[in-house]
Structure 1
């Protein structure tokens, strides 16, 4: 029919969502709240509308960051943002989590649960991931630094692992501590603390903060800043998620009588794509500038995030359509050419051919951002079009079948009933 093959579309009929959430916080605190919160939404509101509304709030938060700190320097660069900004990010992220949690409940209320909802939900989550990395790094006063790059890699890796695990096991598994639940609430708390004390608070040494600088033996440890300590904790969290995800995948492969090592090869696409981006950032200084220390750092991260969203979007599509795992992405070639060009002083002892000055460098980065946006936008548009046409549904409209089996728009009437 278009982007998705006819065979893959037929497999949509066999798809059913499966998920496991072992978080006590979800079970005893958040889920009761979400169950109540979804009742505030009319049945005429489509689940995907709720999902997109949550992402729109994050876009608004991101826009306020660009307004008050357009060069992404935070307080290390002398930029003092108003404190209400961070409180608004805290509220915005909590609302995003809530909207993201109830869209599935709304889908079941309206009879619209299906593969399109999962595709749309994961697509929004993928975009939110990079945006929150940028916002959280600014709130932690990391700004233009390799810690921000490390945060981007760790967060994207966690998302990739979850998607990779779901592809092989057939279900979304959330443990007792997961990114979508506890991880998001942790960031919500970071925004709130920054709202009270400012980003520079996170430069306080962890021993100083805990008042352990006078404790024998303990005071021999490095007084690592709180923001660096948080990044170190995140690295261990990624390693924990890796072994947990592989344990679940291995169990599923053994049950199916398949190889337990072959799935590990499917981690290579993320390693390759992330390595290309880091290689580009690691270029030697030329023209008195490096990319990571310039105002182009945020557009670069956004382009990287869009390419990642495209990558995991194709993984989810492969999952819901029982299609082969996507190994290759043509955007790798574009980014690799740019990375090699930037590193020509190191590789060939000569200046770059394309990125010869700050203006050309900006043109390449913004062109990469534009191409990444168009590529991901095209993917989303074609996939939504194929699925909605095949299944006879709409993306942002609640639809029901009439007595003849024809899909019709529905809307609530004054007496609370629905009319066709």
Structure 2
């Protein structure tokens, strides 16, 4: 009933992390800070504990949104923005998450706990953080419940999927000169700080008016989009660049291995299919094409989508560390398939069977969220159990081998 076949467990011992980070910001600004910051943590604290601490901070930010902006989860359109100071806490929380996410690997090397479990745990927390930050950043930008937020979710998850897909084929995590975990996060931190100072209305200004370029002949022919929508367009160009960059790295690796350079492209279809399912479900013809987007079901829908995505990329990372086959299908999608098909039955002249009214749609979305949560929780618990039992390590406890090769919980005074 586990996720790791017996014959793949042996590959866990062969795992070795490989990564490339070309970011100048990371090399010259952040890494010196991270190198100092990790020394503040006792050697008795496990790396995964540091990772989990960062994720819990993000959850605090998310629950702060729900507490100070409860109308965001209701049917009402008169959504009131959270107090200005809340956005500052989001900025601090996200920067703290980035820092803790960066030093967990350093802590793993300090304590001798580097291994496949650490990568699985790190990427799993990153996957959850991705959706939560989409919701928070969209709220800070004033996008709210809109297709722009959906587009942001697709673009952000696509970037994460590409990075994982690339790592599976190249054997290393590649971060370019501009990457989501470094510059992308710092941009979101800056957005939170700007919103905290000026308020969400700041992002409604037209970009060419704001930059005083609206009278330049060439610029005047371009759409004068609001700043928040312009940021989304910028993200689309960034996604396009990352697609090309990731494929070039995969192409180089496949050619070196004398393997097919086209097959990796087929392994992008799981994300395309899963995203298409969510969009099809959101395009509910029974309720003016956007019922879920404009209702209390929107945030639960995004969270369910994020959990399904975390399950999908979690299996991809597991395939990487165990050298297993790439997962092409995820059974948790069945709920999205049911939701999308049921919602679009009117296109074929039939009435929905489950989502017969807005209330039933909301109930089904929450049910999908519950199933997605339980599925991902099961995945996490089983994978942690399999890896810790096979390797004889602990998830949240630092352990050391004795002279006979037996693992024991290490005391701080025995660590060096």
Deviation for aligned residue 1:288? 10
Are residues 1:79 and 2:75 paired? no
Deviation for aligned residue 1:411? 2.2
CA distance in 1 between counterparts of 2:365 and 2:105 reads 37
Are residues 1:204 and 2:200 paired? no
CA distance in 2 between counterparts of 1:396 and 1:181 reads 26
CA distance in 2 between counterparts of 1:298 and 1:283 reads 16
- The match for 2:396 is 396
Deviation for aligned residue 1:199? 0.8
Superposition pairs of residues 127-276 of structure 1, within 5 angstroms? 127-276=128-277
Deviation for aligned residue 1:345? 1.6
Q: Which moved more, 1:123-132 or 1:66-75?
A: 66-75
Q: Which moved more, 1:337-346 or 1:111-120?
A: 337-346
Q: Which runs of 5+ in 1 are unaligned?
A: none
Are residues 1:299 and 2:300 paired? yes
Q: How many residues align?
A: 414
Distance 1:333 1:73, change over 3 A: closer
Could you say what the CA RMSD is over the residues aligned between the two structures, in angstroms? 1.7
Q: Which moved more, 1:17-26 or 1:206-215?
A: 206-215
TM-score (ref. length: structure 2): 0.96
- The match for 1:418 is 414
Q: Assess if the C-alpha contact under 8 Å between 2:87 and 2:196 holds in 1.
A: yes
What's the CA shift string for 1:34-74, capped at 9, x where partnerless? 00000000000000000000000000000001112233289
Deviation for aligned residue 1:3? 3.1
TM-score (ref. length: structure 1): 0.96
CA distance in 1 between counterparts of 2:384 and 2:250 reads 29
Are residues 1:46 and 2:65 paired? no
CA distance in 1 between counterparts of 2:166 and 2:324 reads 15
Deviation for aligned residue 1:216? 4.3
CA distance in 1 between counterparts of 2:156 and 2:255 reads 28
Distance 1:134 1:206, change over 3 A: same
SS of the residue corresponding to residue 293 of structure 2 reads: helix
CA distance in 2 between counterparts of 1:337 and 1:71 reads 28
Q: Which moved more, 1:280-289 or 1:47-56?
A: 280-289
What's the CA shift string for 1:80-124, capped at 9, x where partnerless? 310110000000000000000000000000000000000000000
Superposition pairs of residues 22-61 of structure 1, within 5 angstroms? 22-61=22-61
Are residues 1:354 and 2:354 paired? yes
Are residues 1:282 and 2:286 paired? no
Superposition pairs of residues 378-389 of structure 1, within 5 angstroms? 378-389=378-389
CA distance in 2 between counterparts of 1:301 and 1:2 reads 27
- The match for 2:8 is 8
CA distance in 2 between counterparts of 1:363 and 1:304 reads 15
CA distance in 2 between counterparts of 1:222 and 1:214 reads 13
CA distance in 2 between counterparts of 1:310 and 1:171 reads 21
SS of the residue corresponding to residue 45 of structure 2 reads: coil
Q: Which runs of 5+ in 2 are unaligned?
A: none
CA distance in 2 between counterparts of 1:309 and 1:275 reads 17
- The match for 2:318 is 317
- The match for 2:116 is 115
Q: Which moved more, 1:281-290 or 1:18-27?
A: 281-290
